[in-house]
Amino acid sequence: MYPNVQFNTAAGGSGAGQSGVEANTINIGGSDPFLTNAQMAANPGILNIPVAISAQQVNYNLAAIPATDHLNFTGVVLAGIYNGSISYWDDPAIKALQSPSVAGLLPHNLIVPLHRSDSSGDTNLFTTYLSDTSPSWSKSYGSGNTVAWASVPTAQAENGNSGMLQGCSQTPNSIAYIGVSYLAQANTDGLGNAALQNLAGNFVQLTTANVNSAVNAQYASTPPDERLSMIYGPGATSYPIVNYEYALVRQTQASAALAQQIQAILWYATLPQYGQSSYFLQPLGFIALPPSIAQLTWAQINSIHS
């Protein structure tokens, strides 16, 4: 399409992607969440363009739980861990969610909750799930790329998904929220992968089938600007922390050439024979956009101009 397009990438959380596009210091910003109404009002003309579907895992480092088993969590119990009201792994609130055989294995060890130190879309997704399920969390802490975390004595702050993975892998009795792109490494490191309670009341693990269930139950509600939260959505087998991965782009560019180059990158990322192919998506645990959502995405890409 435009074979001479070259671009540089830089690592950083969703907060960096959002602030860079808002400040007009980068051309394309990657973000797990879409811009809020307040951000859109303050920065008119920014497009929120889905390029894939992602999800988030909740991992734990607990040697007492065999790899053949897994822990169950509700948003309310996770909120209790992160606000400090649940301190030990054998707390009755945690044990009550497990099968009897697993509940009996939980040790009387202090929980080490890990959270992101950077401005993070994964923090936004995780705290949205907590806010959607726990009224007390919503009232006291809310959701966002950054939140005022409770002063839990054992808590640790980590930078980036890689920091969360490393921190969880190296810290016994820890728990962490980590993007699905690190699922394979989390499994290799022997971390537990929790089943989370969804809106239907069922505990579901992070699998491609369960992510697809969440998407299929909701994507038809996607508006033309494609800002849609799929967290804690309907469906018996829907995984509750699922999201569009967004490319944030200014609709009006400084030149026609720059607008064409940005379009070329986004076309490549969203066409089924290129960026939407399993060759690129499967290693990250991402899922391709449904055809009707791809059409909305292409309409947004087509609207970029000088």
- Which pLDDT tens digit goes with each residue over 115-132? 999 999 999 999 999 999
pLDDT at 14: 83
7-11, 54-58, 100-104, 250-254: lowest mean pLDDT where? Answer: 7-11
Asked if residue 11 has pLDDT above 80, the reply is no
Please, what is the average pLDDT of the chain? 95
Span 135-152, average pLDDT: 97
Tell me, which fold does domain 56-213 have in CATH? D-Maltodextrin-Binding Protein; domain 2 (3.40.190)
Higher-confidence position of 287 and 2: 287
- Provide the residue type at 15 as one letter: G
pLDDT at 9: 63
Confidence of residue 267 (pLDDT cuts 50, 70, 90): very high
Burial-class residue 114 by CB neighbours within 10 Å (0-12, 13-18, 19+). buried
Task: Tell me the helix, strand and coil percentages in the chain, rounded to 5.
Answer: 40, 20, 45
Q: What is the pLDDT of residues 182-227, one digit of tens each?
A: 999 999 999 999 999 999 999 999 999 999 999 999 999 999 999 9
Confidence of residue 23 (pLDDT cuts 50, 70, 90): confident
The H or E element spanning position 263 is: helix 256-270
